[in-house]
Amino acid sequence: MEIKIPYGKTYQTLDIKEEYQLVESKIQELGGGADGDRIVLEAMASPIASPKLSELAAGKKNAVVIISDHTRPVPSKQIIPHMLAELRAGNPDIDITLLVATGCHRGTTPEELVHKLGEEIASRERIVVHDCDSSPLTELGVLPSGARLVVNSLVANAELVVSEGFIEPHFFAGFSGGRKSILPGVCSRVTVLGNHCADFIDDPKSRMGVIDGNPINRDMECAARMAKLAYIVNVVVNEAHEVVAAFAGDAIEAHHAGCAYLAKYCEADPAYKADIVITSNGGAPLDQNVYQAVKGLTTAADAAGEDGALIICAECADGIGGDSFYKALSECSTPEELLEEIRRVPMDETVPDQWQYQILARILEKHHVYFVTRPELEKEITAMKMEYAPSLEEAYARARALRGASARVTVIPNGVSLIIKQ
């Protein structure tokens, strides 16, 4: 039988003769999103554990609406106009600022804002792009972990703070959305790095689909409360990034409701832990570099036995995805040595991208990884302690040779859309 694995804008194919288990997300069952505006409005009409947004706006002088940045496929055109309209319905004189939650990413450009919000809102509304290093910042206290919570001063000084977002599985925060609008969205670099520290990444609860007991989520939720994030509108999208469900209301309760809803479609419980797992990052744009491909590999590792062989297909049109990420893995002697070094790094000395190479090193400590990508990256893939393969067919042949004729195989076409039950 021929299997097709997303790769850039095309596929890698494999004619597989052996038996295998196919593990997929059920997100496609949610259908299209032609009624996205209606879905959002219905959620806002019946908010979870919260008054309506119009009621929250009453009597407030100003409000900050935190919006997602250019790295998130949030359908803002179907969310922000409705939030703005309801804020002004409750208080026509309220002073509104849209604050772009960039975290530690680069700033969103004016052109990207027009694409995201539409020309009318982009030109009419006051929009500020958060910068984790240079924006005015205010310290609000200490998080449960002991890390300092330092946020954009617009948030700290606002009478009402609300946000948009979308919910998807996240490989160490459990799920995206909700509280992430605050941390990392509008926090200082020192707060973001503290939240992504080695001890937290190492915690067995800091995994895809896990909220309860997750120390990263715990600090994020506390940050949302301390920053007085009063109300959210979060959506679930299908693979075409169309709205299929929406959750509005209390920043924590509405988010938890959305996570529980999504988990029904994303959780999978394979019949066995495989000797060989084949996956991808879902194709372009999510497989744009090796850095992003760690997310798909995380799912593959969860589906594999202790020494399983992992095959990931990722075009990596933009290359590796970070000098520090590449250097950490290419310059270490072994993944085990790198992990030992990372685990000695205190919270307040966390460096950018440390979490990403920590997770990849953790995978490489237990699994042999075959990386199917462009031939231009062969040298870099090899230096990063993975095995380059020019095609899925070649990678599979090598994995069979390594794991033997009786190896059990799992195929996960899109690793970033799935939560493997542990």
- Burial (CB count <10 Å: 0-12, 13-18, 19+), residue 19: exposed
Name the active-site residue from 70, 82, 130, 170. Answer: 170
Q: Is 82 a catalytic residue?
A: no
SS3 state of residue 380: helix
* Distance (Å) of CA 74 to CA 177, 316, 333, 418: 10, 23, 40, 19
**Tokens 């929250």 belong to residue:** 56
248 bridge partner residues: 233
Return the structure tokens found at 158. 């606002």
Max Cα-Cα span within the chain: 71
Q: Which of 109, 157, 151 is nearest to 132 (CA)?
A: 151
Q: Which of 100, 98, 108 is nearest to 65 (CA)?
A: 98
Rounded CA gap, 116 and 57, in Å?
A: 24
Q: Is 196 a catalytic residue?
A: no
**Long-range pairs, 332-338, Cβ under 8 A, ≥24:** 332/361, 332/385, 334/385, 335/360, 335/361, 335/362, 335/364, 335/365, 335/385, 336/361, 336/365
Rounded CA gap, 67 and 75, in Å?
A: 11
Catalytic annotation, residues: 105, 170
